Amino acid sequence: MVGNVSLGSVRACLEGAIPAVMATCSSDGTPNIAYLSQAFYMDERHLALSFQFLNRTRANILSNPWASLLVLHPVTAAYFRLGIRYLRTETEGALFEGMKAQLAGIASHTGMVDVFHLRGADVYEVHCIELLEGNPLPAPAPRGDLLNAVRRTSERLVRCISMEDVLNATLAALNDYLHIQHAMVLMLDSVTERLYTVASCGYATSGVGSEIAMGHGVIGVAAQQRTPVRIMHMTNAYRYSAVTRSSLQEVHPDLALQVDIPWPGLANPRSQIAVPVLSAGRMLGVLFAESPNDLQFTYEDEDVLVAIAGHLGSAMDLAQLTPEWGDSPSDGHGTPPVSGKALQVRHFKANDSVFIDGNYLIKGVAGAIFWKLVQDFTLRQRSEFTNRELRLDPGLGLPDVTDNLEARLLLLQRRLAERGPWIRIEKTGRGRFCLAVQRPLELQESP
C-alpha cells in the first residue's frame, strides 16, 4: 500500500479504455480471473460491476464475496488493486439503467452488441485500494478549468431574472466554458409524462417543442431514473430517430397535417450525456449534451454538468416565483394596426394542438394558452396579458404547483418566432407580455 488512495482517484481507470480484471475464489479455493466490461463508480466506498453472464465469477461471488480487482490508468499506466466485497445485485432503478445505457455503448464500440446484455448491477464495497509500485508515465494536466467553469456558470445564472435568461445563460455557459457545442434543455410535462425541448444550441433547427417520452434514450432514462446517463460510444439502442409519432392522427385519421416537431439532435452522435434537473426534490427537466466524437464526456464533465444542473434547477424555480403583479396590464398602449390577408388559426380540442394556415404550431398546455390568447384578441380586442391571469384560468389545465408556466410561454414564444413575424409574444415587464398580431385572425375550433 502506497499512501491512502481514494476511490475518486481511480475513476479514470474505470472509464473503460482498458478493461478491469477481477480475481474471485470458489469455495474449494480454486481462483478464477475474469475481464469486466464495465466498472461503475458509485461513491467513495462502492463500485458496481456489470453482471452479464451466469459464469464461474458469478458462482464464486455468491459463495465467497471477496474479490480482488486490478485496474490500469489509461494515461500513466499506473496499476491500482482494489480489495472488494460483493454486497448485492440490482436489476432495476437508477444504477441499473445508467449502467445499461453505458454498457450498450461499450458493446457497440467493441462489436459485442449481440453478446453484452446487462442482467444486473453487482454492487461491491471497496475495502482497500493499493497504488502499485512503478514508474508511471506523466499524468495528464489536471483540468483546472472545470471548477472555474462551474463558478462562471453560477455567476451567470444568479443574474438571471427570467426563464429565458436562465436557459440562454446555461447554454452559453456550456459553450463558452466547457466547449459543448450541441446541447438542449428539456422540461418535464408532469401531466403527459413527456419531456419537451424548450431551448437548444448548435443544431440546424432549434427543435423547440419536440418531445421525448419518459424512459426513451439517454434523456428519457435520466428523467425517469433521476440519474445522469453518459454514453462514450454511441449505439443504435439509445439513438433518437428524427420523427416521433403523435396521437392526434388517431383522433383525426383524415388529418394529413404534420403534427410533430422533428427532433433536432445530431444524426450520428458518438457521445451523449443527460443530467436530470431537479429543485426541491421535484423533477423539472433534463440538461442534455452530445457530440459527433467518441469519448467526449468524461466523469469530470459529468460532475460539472450535475453541479450546473443543480444551479439551473434553482434558477428555473426562482424565475417562476419572481413577483409578477405590480402594474395591471395597460391596454391601448399603441396596438399596431392589423392588415392584410387573414391567418387561419385552427384549434383541435382533442389535444389542444394549433395550426396556423395548416402549419403545426404547438399542442398541449402551450396550445391551450395560445388559443385563449387569440380568442381574447379577436373577441375582446385584448393584447396585453399577465402570467397571473393565465395561472388562474381554469380552462388552461395548468397543474397547480408545478405549472412551469414560464417555460410553456417561452416555448410558445419561440415557436411563434420560428413561424414568421405575423404573431409574436413580447415581454412587456415581469410576468407581463403582449400578443403582437399583424394580420387578421380567423379562428376555427375542431373537436
Partner 1 sequence: MDAAPPLLPPELVALIADGISAIVGSSDATLRPSIMRAVGSAITPDGATVTVYLARRQSRQLLQNLSSTGRIAVVFTQPHSHRTIQVKSGHVRLRPADASDQPVLQRYLAHMEHEIGLVGFDAAFTRQMLAYDLADLVAVSFEPSDAFDQTPGPRAGGRIGAPSQGGA
Is there binding between residue 66 and partner 1 (CB under 8 A)? Answer: yes
Q: How far is the CB of 286 from partner 1 (least distance, A)?
A: 32
| Cell (9 digits) for 262 | 422533428
Torsion sign (Cα): 366, 367, 371, 374: positive
Is there binding between residue 23 and partner 1 (CB under 8 A)? Answer: yes
Interface stretch with partner 1, choices 30-38, 152-160, 251-259, 309-317 (CB under 8 A): 30-38
Per-residue contact track with partner 1, 82 to 101, x per CB under 8 A?
Answer: -x------------------
For partner 1, the binding residue among 5, 42, 72, 318 (CB under 8 A) is 72
Q: How far is the CB of 187 from partner 1 (least distance, A)?
A: 40
For partner 1, the binding residue among 69, 129, 405, 411 (CB under 8 A) is 69
Is there binding between residue 77 and partner 1 (CB under 8 A)? Answer: yes
Q: Is the Cβ of residue 18 or residue 242 nearer to partner 1 in the bound state?
A: 18
Q: How far is the CB of 155 from partner 1 (least distance, A)?
A: 39
Interface stretch with partner 1, choices 49-57, 189-197, 268-276, 405-413 (CB under 8 A): 49-57
Q: Is the Cβ of residue 61 or residue 234 nearer to partner 1 in the bound state?
A: 61
For partner 1, the binding residue among 55, 91, 293, 381 (CB under 8 A) is 55
Is there binding between residue 26 and partner 1 (CB under 8 A)? Answer: yes
| Phi, psi (degrees; rounded to nearest 5) at 176 | -75, -40
Is there binding between residue 123 and partner 1 (CB under 8 A)? Answer: no
Q: Is the Cβ of residue 21 or residue 257 nearer to partner 1 in the bound state?
A: 21
For partner 1, the binding residue among 11, 68, 252, 436 (CB under 8 A) is 68
| Phi, psi (degrees; rounded to nearest 5) at 101 | -65, -45
| Phi, psi (degrees; rounded to nearest 5) at 93 | 95, -175
CA distance from start to end of the chain: 73
CB of 108 within 8 A of CB of 36?
no
Interface stretch with partner 1, choices 52-60, 190-198, 213-221, 405-413 (CB under 8 A): 52-60
Is there binding between residue 3 and partner 1 (CB under 8 A)? Answer: no
CB of 361 within 8 A of CB of 415?
yes
* Total binding residues toward partner 1, as defined by CB under 8 A: 41
Interface stretch with partner 1, choices 74-82, 297-305, 328-336, 402-410 (CB under 8 A): 74-82
CA proximity to 59, closest of 84, 32, 22, 96? 32
Q: How far is the CB of 35 from partner 1 (least distance, A)?
A: 7
Q: Is the Cβ of residue 33 or residue 243 nearer to partner 1 in the bound state?
A: 33
For partner 1, the binding residue among 112, 146, 237, 251 (CB under 8 A) is 112
CA proximity to 255, closest of 246, 263, 244? 246
CA distance 422 to 416: 9
Chain-centroid distance, C-alpha 445: 35
Is there binding between residue 21 and partner 1 (CB under 8 A)? Answer: yes
CA proximity to 416, closest of 445, 379, 388, 377? 377
CA proximity to 222, closest of 171, 264, 184? 184
Q: Is the Cβ of residue 56 or residue 382 nearer to partner 1 in the bound state?
A: 56
Interface stretch with partner 1, choices 25-33, 231-239, 347-355, 396-404 (CB under 8 A): 25-33
Q: How far is the CB of 113 from partner 1 (least distance, A)?
A: 11
Per-residue contact track with partner 1, 131 to 170, x per CB under 8 A?
Answer: -xxxxxx---------------------------------
Q: Is the Cβ of residue 83 or residue 329 nearer to partner 1 in the bound state?
A: 83
For partner 1, the binding residue among 70, 87, 251, 255 (CB under 8 A) is 70
Q: Which residues bind partner 1 (CB under 8 A)?
A: 18, 21-35, 53, 55-56, 64, 66-70, 72, 76-77, 79, 81, 83, 110, 112, 115-116, 132-137
